[in-house]
Amino acid sequence: MKKLLLIVFLLSSIEMGFAAKKKRKVRRRVSKQSRILRAVQRNVKDQNWNVALYYFFAYLKKKKTMTDKDNKLAEQILGKTGTLPLYLYNADFLNKVDVPSVNIHQAHFNFKAKKYPEAFKFASKVPKDSSYYPEARFVMGSSQELQGQKNFEDYMKQCIKASNKISKKIYEDKYKRYFVLVKEYCIAGLARSSFRDGKYKKSNHYYNWIPKTSYSWPYILMEKAWNHYHQGDYNRTLGISMTYQSPLLESYFFPEIEVLKALSYFNLCLYRDAAFLIDKFFKVYKERSKNLTKVIKSAVSDKFYFELVYNKKEKIKQHPYILSLRNQLRKKLRINLHLLSYQKARDEYDRLSKNKKRKNDMKFLRFTLDRMERIINKNVKEYFYFFINQINFFSYEMFNIKLEIISRRKDLVYDNKKLVSTRARGSYDNVNRESDEFFYTFNGAFWADELGDYSFGLKSNCKAVQKGSK
């Protein structure tokens, strides 16, 4: 009996010892967590958002689930840093952070990798009351559209409705512009779907919702031109293409519009005009291609492209054409947002460098700045390669058109025929317009309100007559 009691006593004391050790471990874990949380709160108070984000994610790493308080804190910090710092963190870790900013970042991340179902899944997690909701609906609609699903139009319409609603409540110009841009992208999504289905009038009707003062209007104009081209209205296509010659749109990069112009002349059988345009294209774009190649070859440093967009215009010594491309790139939403996030991190670094006790935080910020510079550099570099590839691609297409013109002229010679006239003249009889389309006569000056509403009045020259006949 005594022995039994002794054994029971020994076992219970061993168990109590383990329980005490466990409690001590839990206490140590809790205290480290609370230290990290205090670091987050301290940095939030000092407005060191990038450092706060780092500590916050360190705090989250040990936690299994996030509370509402954690969600609010995450949104507060990410609202200040932007989504660019999220590229520094592991995508698998970010999957467990169910916060709208992170979800929209993950949606874009997967979209970029062409994982459209995953992009759709993350974007669908963004709630209706979030400011990212219109963008999320846009990503969802685009993912569905690219997968050939028919229900994408619902998401685009939700995006338009939500952007309208939110933008009406905002007074700050830049912030408002973001929602307006998202809305216009969604409108363009609907228009593009109609274009794909061959409903060109309906597509143009959607494009007309986008005002001329919008940032996306110069890009939409080319798509409108394609609508008119497919409807056989080559005069209106040429009129729209001519808008790009106005000083306001001179810096916009659109070699495709030149090809569309050449095709329009070709379809009107105005071979001489088409050939002249093609020769002009090669002269102009040869020079541009040379300048672009020079820039790409001179980009020896890792951060050449970043410095091109970040530094002030006065400090950059480049060809005027390269500077105009640079200005175009700085207007792109992605570059804008990334430069804003970078500048905030930079200001944070300059502020903290005065405090010599924050060496670890400084080390982290230096790493953050370096990564951000590399990401921005890569994005800008992609654009420059896109520009040069576009020139090469459309040069080939222009050459193809030229060969076809030579072939058609040869056919006329072999058949002993000629086209009905060598040079067409314009006439109002050949101008077509819908009830919501305008028509302006061009008197040597581009007026801002007339841009995009020009039309030529050329008659088709495609009738062939025997040579020697009147």
Residue number with CB closer to other proteins (59 or 195): 195
Indicate the burial class of 192 (C-beta count within 10 angstroms; 0-12, 13-18, 19 or more).
Answer: middle
Sole window of 327-335, 366-374, 431-439, 443-451 interacting with other proteins (rule: CB under 8 A): 327-335
Q: Which of residues 168-227 bind other proteins (CB under 8 A)?
A: 182, 185, 188-189, 192, 195-196, 219, 223, 226
Q: Which CB, 219 or 446, lies closer to other proteins?
A: 219
Identity (one letter) of the amino acid at 92? D
**Least Å from the CB of residue 394 to other proteins:** 8
Scan residues 68-97 and list those touching other proteins (CB under 8 A).
83
By CB under 8 A, name the one of 14, 20, 146, 316 that touches other proteins. 146
Pick 279 or 411: Cβ nearer other proteins: 411
CB 137 within 8 A of CB 182: no
- In the complex, minimum distance from the CB of residue 135 to other proteins, in angstroms, rounded to a whole number: 6
Q: Give the gyration radius of the chain's Cα atoms.
A: 31
Q: Sketch the per residue contact string, 356 through 385, with other proteins: x for CB under 8 A, - otherwise.
A: ------------------------------
- Are 287 and 425 within 8 A, CB to CB? no
CA 419/CA 318 separation, integer angstroms:
47
Quote the least distance from Cβ 456 to other proteins, whole Å.
Answer: 20
Identity of the amino acid at 203? S
> 118 vs 223, which CB is nearer to other proteins?
223
**Residue 352 touching other proteins (CB under 8 A):** no
Q: How far is the CB of 33 from other proteins (least distance, A)?
A: 31
Q: CA angle, corner 198, sides to 278 and 115, nearest 5? A: 90
x/- map, 288-317, other proteins, by CB under 8 A? ------------------------------
List, as own/partner pairs, every contact residues 389-397 make where C-beta atoms lie below 8 angstroms and the sequence separation is at least 24, other chains included.
390/253, 390/255, 390/256, 391/255, 391/285, 391/288, 391/289, 391/292, 392/289, 394/255, 394/256, 394/258, 394/259, 394/281, 394/285, 395/255, 395/281, 395/282, 395/285, 395/289, 397/259
Among 176, 207, 171, CA closest to 189: 207
Residue identified by tokens 């709208």 is 100
Applying CB under 8 A, the site for other proteins has a residue count of 38
Question: Does 259 engage in binding with other proteins (CB under 8 A)?
Answer: yes
Task: Among 121, 177, 334, 418, indicate the residue that binds other proteins (CB under 8 A).
Answer: 334
Q: How far apart are CA 70 and CA 56, in angstroms?
A: 9
Shortest distance (Å) from residue 242 CB to other proteins: 19
The packing angle between helices 100-112 and 68-81, to 10°, is: 60
Provide the binding-site residues for other proteins, judged by CB under 8 A.
83, 104-105, 108, 111-112, 135, 138-139, 142, 145-146, 182, 185, 188-189, 192, 195-196, 219, 223, 226, 259, 263, 266, 332-334, 337, 394, 397, 400-401, 403-404, 407, 411, 414
